[in-house]
Amino acid sequence: MNKTLVIIGHGMVGHRLVEEVRERDPEQHWRIVVLGEEPSPAYDRVGLSAYMTETTAEELMLTGQEVHQDERVRLCTGVGAERVDPQSSTVLTTAGESLHYDALVLATGSRPFVPPVEGADLPGCHVYRTLDDLDGIRSASESGAEGVVVGGGLLGLEAADALRKLGMRPHVVELAPRLMPVQVDEGGGAVLGRLVGDLGLEVHTGAAVDSVHKGDHGGISAVSLTDGTVIDTELLVFSAGIRPRDDLAESAGLERGQRGGFLVDNGCRTGQPGIWAIGECAAVEGRCHGLVAPGYQMASAVADQLTGRGETEFGGADDATKLKLVGVDVASFGDAHGRSDGALEVTYANNAAGTYAKLVLDDDATTLLGGVLVGDAETYNTLRPLVGRPLPAAPEQLLFPDAGGGGGTTGALPDDATVCSCHNVSKADIAGVISTGQAEDVAGIKSCTKAGTGCGSCVPMLKGLLDEAGVVTSNALCEHFPQSRSELFEIVRATGITSFSELISRYGTGRGCDICKPAVASILAGLSDSHILDDEQATLQDTNDRFLANMQRNGTYSVVPRVPAGEITPDKLITLGQVATEFGLYTKITGGQRVDLFGARVEQLPEIWRRLVDAGFESGHAYGKALRTVKSCVGTDWCRYGVQDSVTMAIQLELRYRGLRAPHKIKAGVSGCARECAEARSKDFGVIATEKGWNLYVGGNGGFNPRHAGLLAADLDDEQLVVLLDRFLMFYVRTAERLQRTAGWIESFDDGLEHVRAVVVDDALGIASDLEEAMARHIADYTDEWAAVLEDPDKLSRFVSFVNAPEAPDPTIEFTEERGQIRPAPIDLPTPVVGASEFSSEEVSA
C-alpha cells in the first residue's frame, strides 16, 4: 500500500468506486479513505421510499463485512470535507484532520432544490433525500391529514406515494403541464395523471408554490399555489429536482459547468491533476447526470484509470428510466419526445385499460429512437436495448409481442445490444458466460458479469437469455431460499417446523422477502391447524390474506361468503341483501356463482363477518391461494338433460376441499351432462357426468392463456372420484412451485398428464395412501377463518384503518352512484391518441 486514494462522498456511486478499485487492485497498491457526511455508510438510495413502510435502514445498507474488515479501506462516517488544496494534495476534513492524497475523487452527489418561496424554511417543510429526511417526514406525518409534495418527477411521485402509505392524503404540485415532464410526453402524462389520481394522489399541474403560511404553533398551516389553490397542511415536502454539490470547487481551483457541477472530461478528470469527479456532482463535458447508472459507469472508468487498466472514458449516459408505483408502471427511453429530425411516432392508447405506449422511429421508420410506456411497461426490457438499432419486427409486434413475430423476445436483440446499462454489459457478454458454463442461472450471470446487480430492471432479460440458450434455470424460491417451494414443503412436513423464522434460520439466509414470506406462510397454513393470522404468520401474508378479504382499487375490500355450488336458501339471500344495505355495499353475482359484497372499509370487515357467520355463512377464500369455488349446473334435480346429480356432487367437493391452501388459486366445476353448463373443462379440475358415472378432467384454466383440462380418468363412481381428487390436489399442493397453476404444473413434467395419471391413478410412486391421509388431516383440521378472528380479540385488533384512531374511517375513500349502487369515484381516461400506427385498439385486442 504505497498510494492513498481519498473519496469525498459515500453514496451509491462513491461506494461503487470503492468496490471497483478493490476488485481491480489485488496487489493492494491503493489505500482508500472515504469521507461520508451522513452518520450511516452508503445505502440504496434508489430504494429509499421502501424505508417508509417496508424495510429497515440495515436492509438498505450497501457495505458488507468485506469492506469493513478490509485493512485497505478506512471509512469515516459523519465526516465531510472542508476544503481541498491541490498544491499540497491535501483534504481538510470537517473533523479537523488533514489527509494527504495521491488521487482524489469527488463523489459529493447533489442536494435537493428548494424553491425560493416565502416560508420554505419553516418547521414542517422537508426535503426527500436521506434516511434522516425520511425519519423527519415519518415523525411529522399524521394519518388522514393532507400533505403536499412539490415536484411531479420521479422522486416527487415516490415521495407522494410514501405519504400515501403513511395514511396521508398527498397533493402533488408540478410546474409543468404534466407529471414526469422530462420522461413522458403529453399523451403519456395524461394517462399517468389519471392513474396516479386513482391511487388517491391529487395532482396540481401547471402550478407552483406561491407561499407557505405560518401557523400559530410555529410550523406551517397552509400552502398557497400560484393558481389560487390553498391547501391546509402541516407537512410540505420539496422534491423539485436536485443541484450538484460543487462547494469544494473554489478551494480546489476547479471549474464548474454552466449549470453547476465539477467540470470534467469524458474520463471524469477535472482540470487539476490527480482529481476526478463522478456521479451527480460531475458535469461531464458540461452535463450532469442525475441517475445512478451513469454514476456507476463513471466509477468504473475512474477505477480503470487508477489501477492502470488504460484511459477508460465514460461512454455516455443511458437516461432510460422506469418507475413503479403501486399499480402504475412508467418507463421512457431514448428520444422519448421525438426531437430528432424527421422522427415518426407510433402511438397506442387503451383508455379502458389505462395504458399508453409510444415508439419513436427515424424518418424512414426502420430504426428505433426511443419510446414511452405508461400503465404497462412489460416490453421495456426488450425495447430499451434496441434504441439506435434497426427494427427487428413491425412496431406493433414490438409493443405487443403476442401479436406475432416474436418482437418481444431476447432473440430480437443483436449481440452487441446493451442489456445492463448500469454495468455496460452486452447480450454477447452474457451469452458468453452462459455458453462456456460459467453461469447456469441468474445468480451466476450476476456474479460473472455484474448484470442485474444495479437497478435490477434487466433481470427478466437475463432469464430470457438463459431460456434462449436452452439452460434450465434454478427453481430456487428466491434469493433467500436455495430450495424450491416444493422442496420447502417437504422440509416443513418432515421437520415439523412451525415458523418462518426457524425455517429461514435453518435452511435459508437473510430476512426473507415478499416472495418467500407468503409462500412459506401458505405451506405452514397447509401443514398445521393454526390460523393464518396466528403470531408470526400474520406478518408474512399478502394484503388480501392479512385482512381475509380482497383489496379493491380504492382501498376498500370485498367480502365473498362461501355458497357451495351456488345453492343458497331464500333466508340466506335475504341476509346478504340486509348486510349489503346496512353497510352500504355494492353487490354482484360472480362468475363462480357467489355473491360479492364490495366497498367494505377495513374496520367494517369483522362486523360484516359477524352478521354472515351468525346466518350460517363462512369465508369463501376469495382472498387466498386456495380452493375458490366448485361451480355447478342444476343437474338431474331440474334439468331434463342431466344424467347425474351435479349439485350434490359440487357441494360435497367444495365443502371437502374448502380452505385447502395451495401454490395458486383453484377453481372447479361439475356439469350434470355433456352440454357442460358449468364449464368444467376450463377449471383446474372439472367433473362431467356420464351415463356410467363421472369423467375427471384436470389442468384447465381461463385467464390470459385459456386451456382445456385433460381427461385424467373416466366413468368413475362417487367414491373413486373423491379418492382421485384427494390424491391429485395433494400431489399438486406438495410439488407445484410458487404461483404455478395446475395447467403449468402438469406441463412442467416431462410426460405431462401421463406422469400425473401414473402417480395419481396408478400409484406409480407408491405415495397414494400418504396423499389420501394428508387430505384427510386437512379436512379434519378445517376451521372457518372469519369465525376464528371473531373469537380472538388480538386478531380483531388488526382490523382498523388507523392504529391511533381505531374507530375512524379512511377519509380518502370516495364513492359515486351508478345504476342504484355505489362504486369507486370515476377515473377520467384519455381520448385515443392518433399517431403513425395503422392498427386500431380493436385489432390489437383481437
C-alpha cell at 237: 415536502
Least confident of 396-400, 440-444, 579-583, 841-845: 841-845
Residue pair 797/167 in contact (Cβ under 8 Å)? The answer is no
| Residue spans of beta strands (DSSP E) within 139-274 | 146-150, 169-174, 202-205, 209-214, 220-225, 230-232, 236-238, 242-244, 262-264
Q: Evaluate if pTM is beyond 0.75.
A: no
pLDDT band at 836 (very low <50, low <70, confident <90, very high): very low
Helix, coil or strand: residue 667: strand
**Is 633 known as a binding-site position?**
yes
Quick check: 327 pLDDT over 60?
no
pLDDT band at 788 (very low <50, low <70, confident <90, very high): very high
Q: How many CB atoms neighbour CB 313 within 10 A?
A: 17
Q: Looking at this protein, which amino acid is placed at residue 233? A: T
**Is 281 known as a binding-site position?**
no
Q: Which residues pair with 4 in a beta bridge?
A: 31
**Residue 577, φ and ψ in degrees, nearest 5:** -65, -40
Please give the pLDDT value at position 805. Answer: 62
Quick check: 830 pLDDT over 70?
no
Quick check: 765 pLDDT over 90?
yes
What are the start and end residues of each CATH 3.30.70 domain in the chain?
A: 542-624+792-825
d(CA 618, CA 405) in angstroms, rounded, equals: 49
Question: 542-624+792-825: which CATH topology?
Answer: Alpha-Beta Plaits (3.30.70)
d(CA 380, CA 158) in angstroms, rounded, equals: 20
d(CA 526, CA 150) in angstroms, rounded, equals: 48
Q: Looking at this protein, which amino acid is placed at residue 398? A: L
> Per CATH, the architecture of 125-240 is what?
3-Layer(bba) Sandwich (3.50)
CA distances, 623 to each of 320, 754, 822 (Å): 36, 32, 22
Task: Please state which of the four CATH numbers 3.40.50.300, 1.10.3720.10, 3.50.50.60, 3.40.50.720 is assigned to the domain occupying 3-109+244-306.
Answer: 3.50.50.60
The CATH code that applies to domain 626-782 is: 3.30.413.10
Quick: pLDDT tens for 100-139: 999 999 999 999 999 999 899 999 999 999 999 999 999 9
What are the start and end residues of each CATH 3.50.50.60 domain in the chain?
A: 3-109+244-306, 125-240
Please give the pLDDT value at position 403. Answer: 47
DSSP state, 593? S
Averaged over 654-682, what is the pLDDT?
94
Q: Looking at this protein, which amino acid is placed at residue 684? A: D
What are the start and end residues of each CATH 3.30.413.10 domain in the chain?
A: 626-782
